[in-house]
Structure 1
Amino acid sequence: MVLSVPFARIPTVVGLFAAVPSETVVIDTSNYFPHLNGHVDAVDRGQVESVWAAGQLGRPVVKAWNAALAGTLETRGVPAGTPGRIALPVAADSIQARRVGMRLVDESGFDPFDAGALADSWRQQPTGSRPRATGTAR
């Protein structure tokens, strides 16, 4: 299941997942832009966006397709093996969920790059800001 909503709106769609099996992998494509969609206190205090999203959804979350602009996703996907194929990071806590995300990224025309666990997915956010352990806003 692919979830593409403004990041701060994730809590408003949680109810849609009530009937979805708990093992269903959710691909989260969102990015945290508080100036556009509102602040999320936990993230402002340093929690990694994807970790927060996984907690809200209660499902295995894969962070993918969020590190490229929409135009890139629309026009730059090419078959595997094509010279110059763009790589996109894929992060998830579950190896199985990460494999699902990586397969889908590959099928969509991009080389999947294993970006590790959700706790490290801050690296693929547009701001690239490392969460602060002090709890201060970033």
Structure 2
Amino acid sequence: MGLCLGKPRIDGDDSEENVKFSGGNVHLITSKESWDQKLVEASGDGKIVIANFSATWCGPCKMIAPFYRELSEKYPSAMFLLIDVEELTELSTSWEVKATPTFFLIRDGRQVDKHVGANKTQLEKRITAIVDSTTQCQN
């Protein structure tokens, strides 16, 4: 199904790896404060947040990262965030992330949907459905 359940960190700082995971319109979240700021910003702009809880050592996460970047460019009306579960363990725990990748679709700071695993088709279907519903509400 394409998900990682957990693996201890082997080498030191993985921050350079995160660059490969981000890009496009994906915002790398490096602190709880930046997470809170982005959620407030998205709510103010009426945007849906797609939050990718990922890990640099996770094979399925690496596989879906380029697709996630493509989605961020395809759906500019949404805000795409990337959270490294190893870097922000407290945030990952508070969102009850049990496997990577886990994607949360968030509206006004609240989870409206969740996708676990690297199934590209299912992820895009969920994003399309929520973005389309938001667009219809605004018209």
- TM-score normalised by length of structure 1: 0.31
Structure showing greater Rg: 1
Instruction: Decide which structure has greater strand share.
Output: 2
Question: Whose relative contact order is higher, 1 or 2, with alpha carbons under 8 Å and at least 6 apart?
Answer: 2
- TM-score normalised by length of structure 2: 0.31
